[in-house]
Amino acid sequence: MSRVTMTHPGLDQEIEVDEVSVPHYQASGWQVAAPPKATKAAATGRRRKESES
């Protein structure tokens, strides 16, 4: 499951939540700070495809 880093304008803290929970946190004022991190398998697949070209 992908994780997402979120920030809140009134706090100096970042939290990491499951991607499926983002709408719940956004309803409370949290904002997505960074795109979901790629899993190791996804990164490996990308490198393999780049090297094949």
Q: Of 34, 1, 43, 40, nearest to 15 (Cα)? A: 34
What is the reported pLDDT for 12? 92
The CA distance from 37 to 26, in Å, is 19
Residue 22 pLDDT level (bands cut at 50, 70, 90):
very high
The pTM is what? 0.60
pLDDT averaged over the chain? Answer: 81
Higher pLDDT, 32 or 41: 32
**Percentage above 90 pLDDT, the chain:** 58
pLDDT > 90? residue 52: no
